[in-house]
Structure 1
Amino acid sequence: MDLFSSETTKNILPFDGVTNYHGIVLDKNQLDFFYKKLLTTIQWKNDEALIFGKIIITKRKVAWYGYKEFSYTYSGITKTALLFTEELLILKKIVEKESGETYNSCLLNLYHSGSEGMAYHSDSEKMLKKDGAIASLSLGAERKFSFKHKENKKRVDIVLENGSLLVMKTGTQTNWLHRLPPTKKINSPRINLTFRTIER
């Protein structure tokens, strides 16, 4: 297991993928403003997943935004995007400048505490741009984030700091799984914004 907590854009994956950790990209005033604004103005809804024919409703809440009303299907459930808010457009511009990539949509997750997480998966839905960058911006509680290689099970862990940016690119979704492991040590919320590109 490798554990990273650094402010560098070095590729954190040892092989078969490019994932760059950019460290903290927002200042304290921005962090406070956007965290409170997103927490109270985003149209959060409990996430749903279709598992073995049953719809499971999670404690974690999600929201889906874009330039237009994209339809996005994952875990067997189709969602339609709301139009970007002013705050999301500002954050998208910051993320695009830092990552050198462009995005047309954003999937947001709200984890109320460390008890809520995400199981191993890869973001490989057909409507996503093939090998396109997915930029993950974290606000709120620091959480560990894990990668596991699909074949040899090599694992890489990283601590995602408040205001930090992680960009998953070429080969990452094809060769690696990632997850947000639950923890009893965290009692405060985390907002995660994943900017991505939908191709129609």
Structure 2
Amino acid sequence: MDLFKTGNVTNLLPFDGEAHYYGSVMNIKRAQQYFDKLLKNIDWDNDKAIIYGKLVITKRKVAWYGDEPFDYTYSKTTKTALPWTKELLELKEIIENKTGETFNSCLLNLYHDGDEGMAWHSDSEKDLKKDGAIGSLSLGAERKFLFKHKETKQRVAIHLEKGSLLVMKGKTQTNWLHRLPPTKKVKSPRINLTFRTIDI
């Protein structure tokens, strides 16, 4: 895999998209403090999806926050954004300052252990700003993350560190799928925050 660098930030994708990996944007102690607060203070709920007409409830938990009570529909279910918490606003500011991007919402995922993951998908729902940036912050357990090109099937893998930031933007969602593969090696939980822009 060739890595293409822009300044100190690495673009993981060789073509047809931008996925900039910043590495850790905070120290391990601070990352753990945020993890503990989010685990306790976020209004977590089991994720729901309609698959082949049936309602499926996942072990993985999610939460949706934003500037306004935005509706966000994916997997044929709709969530309404809750008001920002203090910790989420602090993390949003860190990521906006680091990337120069702005975000008005955040979808959080709680994976209890390595048995829980995410299948191949792209974040291309009509509610999201087209080609807008998605800032993905990882807290807790370190996990492998994969990209797959929709046409060539070429794959790119990255190991997401504690407190690390990955920003997907441009044509990434149009041309690439991504997933969080399950693994038996990870026994501890991970929180992933994906800061997004709802098109209003």
Q: TM-score, with normalisation over the residues of structure 2? A: 0.96
| 1:60-105 deviations in Å (ceiling 9; x for gaps) | 0000000110000000000000000010000000000111100000
Matches within 5 A, 1:104-123: 104-123=104-123
**1:10 Cα offset (Å):** 1.6
One-letter amino acid matched to 2:12: I
Pair 1:12 & 2:7 matched? no
- Work out the number of aligned pairs and report it: 197
**1:9 Cα offset (Å):** 1.0
Unmatched tracts of structure 2, length 5 or more: none
Pair 1:178 & 2:178 matched? yes
One-letter amino acid matched to 2:162: N
**1:56 Cα offset (Å):** 0.2
Q: Which runs of 4+ in 1 moved over 6 A?
A: none
Matches within 5 A, 1:98-177: 98-177=98-177
RMSD after superposition: 1.4
Q: Give the aligned partner of residue 80 of structure 2.
A: 80
**1:197 Cα offset (Å):** 0.1
* Contact 2:60-2:110 at 8 Å conserved across structures: yes
One-letter amino acid matched to 2:119: A
- CA 1:35–1:3 in 2, change beyond 3 Å: closer, same or farther? farther
* Contact 1:64-1:79 at 8 Å conserved across structures: yes
One-letter amino acid matched to 1:128: L
| Separation in 2, partners of 1:32, 1:141 | 10
Unmatched tracts of structure 1, length 5 or more: none
> What SS does the aligned partner of 1:32 have?
helix
| Separation in 1, partners of 2:85, 2:30 | 16
- CA 1:103–1:115 in 2, change beyond 3 Å: closer, same or farther? same
